[in-house]
Structure 1
């Protein structure tokens, strides 16, 4: 059990950082100090009390990341309720299901998403509140929430006649073993499951992050990944709020152009991202430089190459604000070419590993200790790892973990819970890989996506796709098996195609050449039979993994 109590961490932080800025909606310029966040939490607690919300009741939360999303989350857990964050990319039917399955009694949502939901399909919801201004959007028949909200100011004034202040901060006494969060996984294999995370699970992640020396009181942090995802929620929100850092919530689609402008303005001290965003910056910003004839020639000259790499590194660091200690990449596997290049130019980045069921962190290395191909060492003293193979250092097997961060189970789903744990209590991640003697993890692929060749060889489509995506005019790819052969579905990089004046009718011929090139790069049993053009980008989860199950019968 983690020594620090999860709720107490925030009780102490709000007191210690009362006057410091806490949350800013970057695109709207709305800000809250830690004291103002604590005051908003107190108002919501009065609402909960007046509506007789009990400890352990579920509060659903869905909408674009903003300050009130964060305030709602913190108000729920510090009251002793269970927060149910829902990814805003889920379709309305999935949202209805999650609200009902979780037995949520209140819903906090953006006005736009509320317009897509049908109140008769979530009949057990007592009240719906806007993430724009906390007004009541809907109340169940017999409820008097709208009337109550009109008297909330007077109730607040009556309870705190001299105003709400530091000495009033006192949150729920809740043991760390209690569930505080129900996180419904996005998943790439079908319907989501409700992951039950305890205060201990989240405290394990937060207290470990605090030991890394990456974020301090007064630091600035730019959040551009969806907070309803465990990775972003923990490290873009829970950790900064625990140490007294200032979170800027982007609130826009994180295109390279928008992100680079925001980096320049915010100048974050730590950057958390997913591979897709770094890969896009690499393609748009770095590759054009490397492909210049003069640069290509210069890179073949000893000593001069190091100077050029240093210039590229400085330009990239400056473009990302210039003040960050490290870029942490997580959520999915990163393209090996991008990884190798960033490592070669000594760019301060690292790749971690986790899953929602661990809230999320399993392994991490600092950028100084990072080894390309790995995703860090298992968290010392908090987590343990084993590989389900006879030779875990050389023979690929399923990665299995146990420790402080591992979930309690899936909500109301004993069958799924029993299936994901081994008989001796290890969590089966579904990822395949090896470890080294320092318990550094090397992932090869997902057990559900692995293809068994006719000769009995294990084929990891993600490894072939990483090589395909480095070939000319390919934006993204998906390797599937059809009639015993490997077929690559490819969505072309139309921006580059149009920029170079190539006709779209020439793409099949270009892909034939790419087919020749990819088959030079893979093992004989991994040879691709054909490349087929796909008309649109592949549908993805919020952490930007392709939803493979949608294309298995293409």
Structure 2
């Protein structure tokens, strides 16, 4: 364990009052059922295009039977049980059953390739796997020889084959039999579960090298639920729309908040259905990664790009920005600005709000940096975006902007019970109940990250402002140094550019060891299609659109605008438009849509090198 470096500035408190915490997640669930048995817990898509509602009491029956089934299959406390599935109700039920059996959930993204899936399961010592369907089962079959600890696969969809591959219903049936023999099977397991027992094993997304398994004990999730409740932002009358991957801690922390607060969650992991579902569900809050907010921003701007509509749009946002500035300063809007804002809302902002269902009180952004300009744009439209910060190693949330104290470009103040600090080199340190206990089986990595006195070295660089809000500059390892000795923070530049150029889906700044900064960008599919249709290029193949002069000119103008906002050594001297967008399937994005820089350099190395020809 390394010594704590000199702390330059600290913020937060470990002595803040929190609501009472349960001893474990299983107890959180049973307590919520006892308080809210007849209230709605979840909504899920049904087979005929509508939505089905599930109460907490109905959920309890399935969770307890499944948990008892795990016990009947020999699962012991803290045994690792994996889930390989997209975001759906069965993922949540499986996770709650694992918690009620006092076992530990190991999360696996459904897009994970067979060899990486096998590595995670082997490293975790997984004994049982909940597999979504035959596709996930096929990965296991491909690697079965290298999974000595795996005894059973449970299919969420499909029929089982013997004891090695069981159906969901077969496990529930085994659970019912076990409960008939001992009705206290599950409650006894929950009662014996302690705050320091392993609850979840989440593997880092692995932007470089093999992923590391962060061991998150029960206290991480009970604390997250309690500290989110302490924010006093949510009540049991709220409705959440949940689409985030539940294998990621961002999705998992939202489930902890639901158990603590008791709000309703509509669950549908199909990203292409978000726009369709929001007006139907009409949520009051939703969490998302920045890419979703960027797409909303780009789509609205694209629809108001020219003519009279553009003039009304620009006028409305000018009014919205002026009104937002006055609110932040605590000033009255005044009669004239108030009337103008009412007109702007009726003509423009109400239509944007309706896209999100018309009832949104808060949007929450996390997992990567959100452009301050995009966050301010939403605020001007009367939609509050609360940007927060967390890591796999901190159970998903350690800081959040609060309404009335929002600092755009920051990730807000630490949550109650958490401290954050900056070291002399700018690295952000975190201490609090949500910090992992170790990287599984990796003492060297644990000693590097876990410092003395309970501090975690996050690997992120940033500052703490005079109000105690934290601003993240970049990943420490992603800070790049040009051959001229100048440091550049790529993520900040990339976030700025996305606010300027809605046509672009992804951008990666390149400068490490190079004589100047360059960038590769990919076009957003929807934005590019809209641009093509409005510029007489509808017949051009999407793969060829990147080479069109009109497209290149738009991107070039955006980089010129960006460069006017940067220090001269940060300016982008060259850029290339990639022939396709970056994807999770091709390994260039993590499931939380972060760019894997090494993979992009590997896949598009020749394009990158072409920008430096003659400059070596």
User: Is this a same-fold pair by TM over 0.5?
Assistant: yes
1:416 to 445, 450, 454: 445
Q: Distance in 1 between matches of 2:350 and 2:188?
A: 44
Deviation at 1:109, TM superposition (A): 0.9
Deviation at 1:31, TM superposition (A): 4.5
Matches within 5 A, 1:491-510: 491-493=522-524, 494-501=528-535, 504=545, 505-506=548-549, 507-510=551-554
Q: Distance in 1 between matches of 2:593 and 2:67?
A: 35
Residue of structure 2 in register with 1:114 after alignment: 137
Going from structure 1 to structure 2, the CA distance change for 1:98 and 1:293 (only over 3 Å counts) comes to closer
Residue of structure 2 in register with 1:194 after alignment: 213
Q: Distance in 2 between matches of 1:367 and 1:412?
A: 41
Moved more, 430-439 or 475-484: 475-484
Residue of structure 2 in register with 1:105 after alignment: 127
Q: Distance in 1 between matches of 2:286 and 2:166?
A: 44
The alignment covers a number of residue pairs equal to 536
Instruction: Work out whether 1:485 is the aligned partner of 2:516.
Output: yes
Going from structure 1 to structure 2, the CA distance change for 1:138 and 1:107 (only over 3 Å counts) comes to farther
Residue of structure 2 in register with 1:318 after alignment: 354
Q: Distance in 1 between matches of 2:506 and 2:536?
A: 18
Deviation at 1:441, TM superposition (A): 0.3
Going from structure 1 to structure 2, the CA distance change for 1:446 and 1:36 (only over 3 Å counts) comes to same
SS in structure 1 at match of 2:304: helix
Deviation at 1:55, TM superposition (A): 1.0
Instruction: Work out whether 1:445 is the aligned partner of 2:438.
Output: no
Deviations 1:488-509, CA, capped at 9 Å, x for gaps: 1011342233122255331445
2:413 to 350, 357, 377: 377
Q: Distance in 1 between matches of 2:162 and 2:410?
A: 49
Going from structure 1 to structure 2, the CA distance change for 1:217 and 1:428 (only over 3 Å counts) comes to same
**Cα contact 1:129–1:138 (8 A) shared by 2:** no
Residue of structure 2 in register with 1:400 after alignment: 429
Residue of structure 1 in register with 2:589 after alignment: 540
Deviations 1:522-550, CA, capped at 9 Å, x for gaps: 21111222111211212211111111121
Instruction: Work out whether 1:243 is the aligned partner of 2:267.
Output: no
Deviation at 1:178, TM superposition (A): 1.5
Going from structure 1 to structure 2, the CA distance change for 1:512 and 1:286 (only over 3 Å counts) comes to closer
Greater helix proportion: 2
Going from structure 1 to structure 2, the CA distance change for 1:138 and 1:441 (only over 3 Å counts) comes to farther
Q: Distance in 1 between matches of 2:247 and 2:93?
A: 13
Deviation at 1:475, TM superposition (A): 3.0
SS in structure 2 at match of 1:271: strand
Matches within 5 A, 1:321-470: 321-380=357-416, 382-389=417-424, 397-469=426-498, 470=500
Deviation at 1:276, TM superposition (A): 0.7
Residue of structure 1 in register with 2:303 after alignment: 288
SS in structure 1 at match of 2:33: helix
**Cα contact 1:104–1:124 (8 A) shared by 2:** yes
SS in structure 2 at match of 1:171: helix
Q: Give the superposed CA RMSD.
A: 3.0
SS in structure 2 at match of 1:114: helix
**Cα contact 2:241–2:266 (8 A) shared by 1:** yes
Going from structure 1 to structure 2, the CA distance change for 1:214 and 1:483 (only over 3 Å counts) comes to closer
Going from structure 1 to structure 2, the CA distance change for 1:77 and 1:453 (only over 3 Å counts) comes to same
Instruction: Work out whether 1:124 is the aligned partner of 2:154.
Output: no
Q: Distance in 2 between matches of 1:38 and 1:147?
A: 15
**Cα contact 1:359–1:407 (8 A) shared by 2:** yes
TM-score, normalised via structure 1 length: 0.88
Matches within 5 A, 1:64-143: 64-111=86-133, 112-117=135-140, 118=142, 119-132=144-157, 136=160, 139-140=163-164
Deviation at 1:404, TM superposition (A): 1.2
Deviation at 1:289, TM superposition (A): 2.6
**Cα contact 1:480–1:552 (8 A) shared by 2:** no
Deviations 1:142-200, CA, capped at 9 Å, x for gaps: x999997596376267348xxx89x9797232221121111112132232111101111
SS in structure 2 at match of 1:101: helix
Instruction: Give the gaps of 5 or more residues in structure 1.
Output: 390-395
Residue of structure 2 in register with 1:550 after alignment: 599
Moved more, 120-129 or 195-204: 120-129
